[in-house]
Structure 1
Amino acid sequence: LTELRRVAFLPVANGTRLVTANRLFVRLSVNLSPFAFELPTIYLPFVKILKDLGLQDMLSVASAKDLLLNLQKASGYQRLNPNELRAVLEILHFVCDGTEANMSGGFDLESDTIIPDDGCRLVHAKLCVCIDSYGSRYLKCIETSRLRFVHPDLPERLCVVLGIKKLSDVVIEELNHEGHIRNLDHIGSVSLADIKEKLLSRSFQDAVWSLLNSLATYVPTINNLTFGSIQSSLETVAKKLQFVKCLHTRFLLLPKAIDITLAARDSLIPVCDDGFEHQRLYFLNRSETHILVAETPGYISVLDVIAIVVSQVLGSPIPLPVGSLFFCPEGSDTVILDMLKLSTCKRDFEAVSNGLVGKEILSKDALRVQFHPLRPFYRGEIVAFRIQNGEKLKYGRVPEDVRPSAGQALYRLKVETAAGVTESILSSQVFSFRSMLADEASTSTIPEDIDEVADNISHDELPETSRRRKNKTSQPQLSKELQYGRVSAAELVQAVHEMLSAAGVSMGVETQSLLQKTITLQEQLEVSQAALLLEQERGDMAAKEADTAKSAWMCRVCLSNEVDITIVPCGHVLCRRCSSAVSRCPFCRLQVTKTIRIFRP
């Protein structure tokens, strides 16, 4: 058993791979293919044996974390393909959803959790940083090569549960040479005193309150702001705001305070004479003790910069269009908003889907694309496809299990090519992704007739539920198998031509025409043979029906003559010779009173 535990001999995922018993679960509520699978029903009679080999009952948080650890060790720092990345994210969602139960059991969720980084490689969570909304503004200003980020598809909620550090917690922005800052009372025609007075005016605060209320439906982060909190934030800006000549900051990586500031190249902002590198138009630290606005070039309005500062203090992820309100007459702020239709705009913001389906595949994923024309596909598998030769590969998803019959060179299968759009595509236009696991069994070792394993098991040996499932699903499986495999001769020749062209082998027009005619004749021959067999079956059935009808009129006593006499009173029938030889009915033993001759229709 020890040796057998390490052998991948169990076909799963519609026969696309072989796995060991410890990667199977009796019941699995989430789709973890290609790493873990629910036990196929054909193996139910062998549950006891499989449990000795490592079969697990249900997925737990502990087993999910162990699965991630084993995957991280087996991957060897290789890149995950899209199917593997989806499975890892499913595992992490499962782990985080069970956080409360795990914590009550003394389970440390934050220790040694494995997550995918931005390069689709499995690493320890404590080595990564997640990009939060506040820290996202640092990305273009720091050397990101010194940091390892989590995968962008990992939600921020999961990052918080897993205890992953935020970018804003490990990187801080501070003033560079604070003593060299020169304060200003004016920037151009804009007076600092006028701006502070405007920020403290009730009409401006009412206008900002009205604007935030109109945006709260679309921006959840400002949904809970009250007028009091808005008023307090604007008063803070008025108190801390300063105009300066030049502003320079630097970014430090904690805990060692390493300077990771990215040197600006070809900056559009005029360089000051103080010689410092990183120049900013404004600076706002997280504690809001410094709110500085630097002198702007002539083509940048200082009012727009102040509006950005006000937006960040209020916690808005988008700049608020309040720059035009700073110079409007007192009391007209709300009217100006109505004129500009800022507080009544009901535009719908479309959510950007982060799904892969329909998008062009990434260059790193393209390196893992493989072409197996006879390979089956399992439901939910992410594939690469292209409709025409020469098109760029795109991501797709297989909506149902696809397993062609043995010997089919080409077939059609359904692929989700865009969100909610499913098309029937030739198998030669669909590509799978190579797995990162070195011990992944090749599909060529899996027998084509794996479904016949269930037929070799005695009907009495199967549990009652298995017998019901088998009887219920046998007919749909047959119809599905017949569905995949009908392609025209022209499509088959075109697919062969494309595959040979990709391999550098030319196929002339005459050869293509000859191949197409040959395939067409073969198809016609198959149709004729099928029609002949059908007619033969019909003839045999007609002969059997005639024999059955004839035997129904045969005398049951002599078995040689047809019946033509009925006996009164019982109504049984005999032939004339047998009826004349009996005085009682041979079937019911009633006395024969008389006989009546009958005729066949």
Structure 2
Amino acid sequence: MPVANGTRLVTASSLFVRLTVKLSPFAFELPTLYLPFIKILKDLGLQDVLSVVRAKDLLLNLQKSCGYQHLNPNELRAVMEILHFICDGTVQANLSDGSNWVSEAIVPDDGCRLVHARSCVYVDSYGSRFVRSIDTSRLRFVHPDLPERMCTTLGIKMLSDMVVEELDHEDQLQALDMIGSVPLATVRQKLSSRSLQAAVWTIVNSVASYKPAFKSVSLEQLQSLLISVADKMQFVWCLHTRFLLLPMFLDITRVSKESIIPGWEDGFRHRTLHFVNQSKTCIFVAEPPNYISVFDVIAIVVSQVLGSPTPLPIGPLFSSPEDSEKAIVDMLKLGSHRRETEPMGESNWLVGKELLPQDAHHVQFHPLRPFYTGEIVAWRSGKDGEKLKYGTVPEDVRPSAGQALYRLKVETTPGVTEPLLSSQVFSFRSISATNEASSAGLSVGGHTEVGNRMHVQVRTAGEGIGSSQLQPGTDLHYGRVSAAELVQAVHEMLSAAGINMDVEKQSLLQTTLTLQEQLKESQAALLLEQEKVDMAAKEADTAKGAWLCRVCLSAEVNITIVPCGHVLCQRCSSAVSRCPFCRLQVSRTMKIFRP
């Protein structure tokens, strides 16, 4: 049956009487039109509400039907909603079968493909330091928009659990007592200083206030960690490390043949400025190039030991005089307490951003297609070289009969809605085999027809468009498109297809469309006048009928009966002695005249 403003044909098994999450284009809430048929639809597979078990089955079926294809933005959003629903339901209900499903959990990877969760890893704060130094082709990463708490619930492994960094033992470490003019003993003494520890604690609390991934620590815990760093830190001349993929200990280190650090010799090994093992029992700081401060390297090491997802701005504190650290923190305004901005809602997390490459081949041109509320679309205003961007449709909209194009509202940036021509709005093709089979009527020459409409692949953002959008006039009604705008849209569509439309043809087309509009207006005016004539004739007939004799229904009345006042024609009045309407005795008659 049709759902989503007529854009989808689905079976009853994809419908729910009540759906609290947005799962289009995979599942929909039953349209109110079909509420009288709930009993029949339940026999065909209609569900009352979405349960965790049903959501898991839905996700498994999606993976089977979609295969290893890229999800479009609407499908990715639906999958994310399903995963949020499953994880929240599993945590709240503490389901006993949660661990069994973890082994079969399906998640989107970083290429927007549905894969088994056990085959993916997610980038945790510690493992994020490895990403630029390893061969990522050996790993499959989960989609970056999947929160860490959900990754943990679904049993996805952390990158730091799968990759370990270890020292390259091909060369012996050459220990140093100082790097440049900075003695190791001075650094150790500074790390043990109470004033520095208090200043670092202030910065840590400030960062933790707007970085939820960074857990704040007590002053005592921080003092213990900094003292541990002071005890275990060593200065060395040069450090080489390598990255191993567990459990086979496969070397996945990525090394550039030409060093990108000026002053370092070329080599085939990974050179680094610092190393901290996972147990934080081995801490090395290598001599940096003369344009890098050793205090900045030490600040990175301390940040890593404290578990900060980003380096803490504590480098200047190591070179500051004793007991001045707190004043320096205040002077540099490092102790702010700004809270992290709340993330945008699920419906507009992509709105206004440029189209991602993996979504470009899902784009389809469908100018007479209806759109449903909340649908993610691609759009462009028609300016020269403008790339496609994401947007959402705030309300159900469909073209009127006979329209070549129509105007609809699209949320182009978060909170901003603009009217666009339907030729400037593109939908995304669904890759679900079930939805394709149900929504596609037949395939002709690589195009897919739905009803009388055709899906046409368009080129990626910004290609072949060399004209600007005509601004809609203030006198245009919502949804209506003028002849000039229609010509402009046709020119843009032909240009995108590599067909040139010269000025003469544009002028001829606009003249034709204008004449057609004038003809329609004339026909409408003629119909209006005809209706007026018909109305006047009807009123005349009604008025004439009001003077017909109600007895013979052929002659006009011209005699009134006294005393009742009823009227008859001359012939009927002479044939009665009593009034045929009220049965009063006729005393006399009186002739009357029409005005």
Residue identity in the other structure for 1:278? H
User: How far did 1:313 drift?
Assistant: 2.1
Equivalent runs, 1:90-239 vs 2, <5 Å:
90-100=81-91, 103-107=94-98, 108-177=100-169, 180-222=172-214, 224-239=216-231
Q: What residue identity is the alignment partner of 2:418?
A: E
Q: Which moved more, 1:252-261 or 1:14-23?
A: 14-23
Which string of whole-angstrom CA distances, capped at 9 and with x for unpartnered residues, describes residues 506-538 of structure 1? Answer: 333222212211111111111111122223323
| CA distance in structure 1 between the partners assigned to 2:501 and 2:333 by the alignment | 65
Confirm whether residue 31 of structure 1 aligns to residue 46 of structure 2: no
Say if 1:337 and 1:50 are closer, same or farther in 2 by CA, change over 3 A.
Answer: closer
1:472 paired residue number: none
Q: Could you say which residue in structure 1 is the equivalent of 2:458?
A: none
Aligned partner of 1:40 among 18, 31, 34:
31
Conserved? CA contact 2:164–2:244, under 8 Å:
yes
1:12 aligns with 2:6: no
- Cα offset for 1:163? 1.0
What SS class does the counterpart of residue 410 from structure 2 fall into? strand
- Opposite residue 108 of structure 2, the aligned amino acid is P
Q: CA deviation at 1:314?
A: 2.3
Residue 325 (1) aligns with residue 323 (2):
no
Counterpart amino acid of 1:80?
L
Alignment of 1:459-470 (within 5 A): none
CA-CA distance at 1:500 after TM superposition? 2.6
2:326 paired residue among 330, 334, 340: 334
1:442 maps to which of 410, 419, 440: 440
CA-to-partner distance for each residue in 1:477-518, whole Å, 9 max, x for gaps?
xxxxx9775211112122222323333333332222122111
How high is the TM-score relative to the length of structure 2? 0.83
Moved more, 45-54 or 402-411: 45-54
Separation (CA, whole Å) in 1 of partners of 2:139 and 2:71: 20
Report the counterpart of residue 367 of structure 2 in structure 1. 373
Are the aligned partners of 1:564 and 1:575 in contact in 2 as well (CA < 8 Å)? yes
2:101 is paired with a residue whose SS is coil
2:527 is equivalent to residue 533 of structure 1: yes
Instruction: Give 2:261's aligned residue.
Output: 268
CA contact (8 A) 1:143 1:261 kept: yes
Distance 1:566 1:163, change over 3 A: farther
Counterpart in the other structure of 1:422 = 417
Deviates more, 1:120-129 or 1:83-92: 83-92
Deviation at 1:135?
Answer: 0.9
Contact between 1:11 and 1:17, CA under 8 Å: does it hold in 2?
yes
Match of 1:399 in 2: 394
CA apart distance, 1:212: 3.1
Tell me, yes or no, if structure 1 residue 504 matches structure 2 residue 498. yes
Which position in structure 1 is the counterpart of 2:70? 79
- CA apart distance, 1:352: 8.0
Q: What is the root-mean-square deviation of aligned Cα atoms in Å?
A: 3.5
SS at match of 1:77: coil
Would the alpha carbon gap of residues 121 and 540 (structure 1) be closer, same or farther in structure 2, given more than 3 Å must change? same
Q: Aligned partners of 1:105, 1:535: CA distance in 2, in Å?
A: 75
Deviates further, 402-411 or 193-202: 402-411
Deviation at 1:28, TM superposition (A): 2.3
Q: Which one is further off, 439-448 or 237-246?
A: 439-448
1:59 and 2:50 equivalent?
A: yes
Residue matched to 1:454: none
Deviation at 1:407, TM superposition (A): 3.6
Distance 2:216 2:357 in 1: 42
Match of 2:507 among 513, 528, 537: 513
Whichever residue aligns with residue 30 of structure 2, its letter is L
**1:319: how far off?**
2.2
- Correspondent of 2:481 among 470, 481, 487: 487
Query: Compared with structure 1, are the counterparts of its residues 598 and 136 closer, same or farther at alpha carbon in structure 2 (3 Å cutoff)?
Result: farther
Flag the 1:230–1:567 CA change in 2: closer, same or farther, 3 A: farther
- Quote the offset at 1:549 in angstroms: 5.9
**TM-score using structure 1 length:** 0.82
Asked if the contact 2:259–2:265 (Cα under 8 Å) also holds between the matched residues in 1, the reply is no
Q: Which moved more, 1:397-406 or 1:116-125?
A: 397-406
Checking the alignment, whether the CA contact within 8 Å between 2:111 and 2:358 is kept in structure 1 is no
* Alpha-carbon distance change, 546 to 88 in structure 1, aligned in 2, over 3 angstroms: same
- Name the CA shift for 1:314/1:599 in 2 (closer, same or farther; >3 Å): farther
Which of 307, 314, 320 in structure 2 is aligned with 1:315?
Answer: 307
1:269-308 mapped onto 2 (5 Å cutoff): 270-271=263-264, 277-308=269-300
Q: Cα 1:593–1:290, aligned 2, differ >3 Å: closer, same or farther?
A: farther
Please list every run of 5 or more consecutive structure 1 residues that lacks an aligned counterpart in the other structure.
1-9, 450-481
Give the Å deviation of 1:556.
6.0
SS of 1:334's partner is: helix
Query: Is the 8 Å Cα contact of residues 113 and 124 (structure 1) preserved in structure 2?
Result: yes
Give the alignment partner of residue 248 of structure 2, picking from 222, 241, 256.
256
Q: How far apart in 2 are the matches of 1:348 and 1:105?
A: 37
Q: Give how far 1:434 is off.
A: 2.1
SS in 2 for 1:119: coil
Distance across 2 between alignment mates of 1:369 and 1:214: 44
Measure how far apart 1:197 and its partner are. 1.4
- Distance between the aligned counterparts of 1:541 and 1:428, measured in 2? 42
1:98 is paired with a residue whose SS is: helix
| CA contact 2:66–2:432 (8 Å) conserved in 1 | yes
- How far has the Cα of 1:554 moved from its partner? 6.9
Q: Say which SS state the counterpart of residue 378 (structure 2) adopts.
A: strand
* SS of residue paired to 1:341: coil
1:57 and 1:352 map into 2 onto residues whose CA distance is: 31
> Of the candidates 52, 60, 64, which is equivalent to residue 69 of structure 1?
60
Residue equivalent to 1:477: none
Q: CA deviation at 1:362?
A: 2.2
- Residues 15, 446 of structure 1: 8 Å contact kept: no
2:377 to 365, 378, 383: 383
Please state how far the C-alpha of 1:32 moved relative to its aligned partner: 1.5
Using the TM superposition, give the Cα deviation of residue 137 of structure 1 relative to its aligned residue in structure 2, in angstroms.
0.9
SS of residue in 1 equivalent to 2:210:
coil
Structure 1: distance between partners of 2:574 and 2:217:
111
Give the match's secondary structure for 2:513.
Answer: helix
Separation of aligned partners in 2, 1:334 and 1:489? 69
Q: 8 Å contact 1:102–1:109 — kept in the other structure?
A: no
SS in 2 for 1:519: helix
Q: Separation in 1 of the partners of 2:242 and 2:549? A: 112
Tell whether the 8 Å contact from 2:566 to 2:579 is kept in structure 1 after alignment.
Answer: no
Cα distance in 2 for partners of 1:432, 1:221 equals: 36
Distance verdict in 2 for CA 1:220–1:596, change over 3 Å: farther
Partner of 1:464: none
C-alpha contact 2:561 2:579 (8 A) present in aligned 1: no
- Cα deviation digits, residues 409-431 of structure 1 (max 9, x gap): 22222222221222222222222
Report the alpha carbon displacement of residue 300 of structure 1 after superposing the two structures with TM: 0.7
Alignment of 1:577-592 (within 5 A): none
Distance 1:110 1:522 in 2: 63
Taking the aligned partners of 1:83 and 1:546, their CA distance within structure 2 comes to 61
Is 1:363 aligned with 2:357? yes
Shift of residue 106 of structure 1? 3.1
CA offsets 1:373-403 (integer angstroms, 9 cap, x no match): 3322222222222211643222222222222
How much does 1:438 deviate?
4.0
> Aligned-pair distance for 1:110?
0.8
Residue pair 2:209, 2:339 contacting (<8 A) in 1 also? no
Selected match of 2:12 from 17, 21, 24: 21
Aligned residues: 556
